[in-house]
């Protein structure tokens, strides 16, 4: 349908999972996609997939815990394209589970999930304002940022911060830039089992399956492609009157 024809999209955490699915879908819908990830080899594989399908993309190695690296990446985008239409701050980490975390674990989780999201948006705003279209910022948060997670209070802290930042940013950037946040439930990515590993991975898959059966009304894990569809919608003109929204894509979990 070419919903993002002639748009430029920058996606973090795009080498795998939800970011990869979103990069591939946005490219299929006409966007030129900057595939940003700490795993450069993985990002380059995504670019190869996109190009093989006839799309356009480039790979960037990016550590979202380093604001200067983020700024440098966006400066390169400015030099190459002179604008952006979509910034999708998707990179995240499950971090440590439980309530006893080390200072190092705390700094890493906050650095990736909250500080990274903040500076990716901050660095992208000037380029979004150069777009002829209404710019779109999208964040990946979590249902754990809406209702809390007993498995990982630290994760809830970071993702709840992302939700409130998105809402505040939506107010400050309107009407030139729309800002929304996706709150996934259990999505079948390599990250998901880490929430359930606790001290050992033994039994993690069984605990996850039992929770999904009990607490997810639709009775299954989500797919990365289903998050990608939500991201595409929020990036497109179909969402032209939507800003400041925290959208659960969770099989009905937070509706209970």
Question: What amino acid positions are annotated as catalytic residues?
Answer: 155
Burial class (CB in 10 A: 0-12, 13-18, 19+), 151: middle
Rounded CA-CA distance 230/227 in Å is 5
Q: Is 180 helix (H, G, I), strand (E, B) or coil?
A: strand
Using the CB atoms, write b or e for 176-189: b if 16+ within 10 Å. Answer: ebbbbbbbbbbbbb
Closest CA to 121 of 104, 107, 140, 102: 140
Among 255, 253, 13, 243, residue whose Cα is nearest residue 128: 243
Do 23 and 86 touch, CB atoms closer than 8 A?
no
């Amino acid at each position: 349908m070419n919903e993002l024809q002639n748009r430029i999209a920058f996606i973090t955490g795009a080498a795998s999972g939800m970011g990869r699915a979103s990069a591939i879908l946005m490219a299929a819908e006409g966007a030129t996609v900057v595939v940003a990830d700490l795993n450069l080899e993985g990002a380059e594989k995504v670019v190869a997939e996109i190009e093989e399908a006839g799309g356009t993309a480039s790979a960037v190695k990016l550590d979202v815990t380093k604001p200067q690296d983020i700024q440098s990446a966006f400066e390169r985008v400015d030099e190459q394209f002179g604008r952006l239409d979509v910034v999708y701050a998707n990179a995240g980490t499950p971090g440590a589970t439980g309530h006893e975390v080390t200072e190092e674990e705390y700094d890493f989780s906050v650095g990736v999930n909250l500080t990274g999201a903040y500076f990716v948006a901050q660095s992208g705003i000037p380029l979004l304002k150069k777009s002829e279209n209404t710019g779109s910022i999208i964040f990946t948060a979590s249902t754990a940022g809406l209702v809390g997670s007993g498995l990982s209070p630290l994760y809830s802290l970071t993702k709840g911060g992302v939700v409130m930042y998105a809402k505040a940013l939506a107010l400050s950037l309107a009407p030139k830039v729309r800002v929304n946040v996706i709150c996934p439930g259990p999505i079948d990515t390599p990250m998901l089992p880490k929430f359930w590993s606790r001290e050992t991975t033994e039994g993690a898959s069984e605990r996850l399956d039992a929770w999904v059966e009990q607490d997810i009304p639709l009775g299954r894990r989500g797919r990365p492609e289903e998050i990608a569809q939500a991201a595409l919608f929020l990036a497109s003109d179909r969402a032209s009157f939507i800003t400041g929204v925290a959208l659960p894509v969770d099989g009905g979990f937070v509706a209970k």
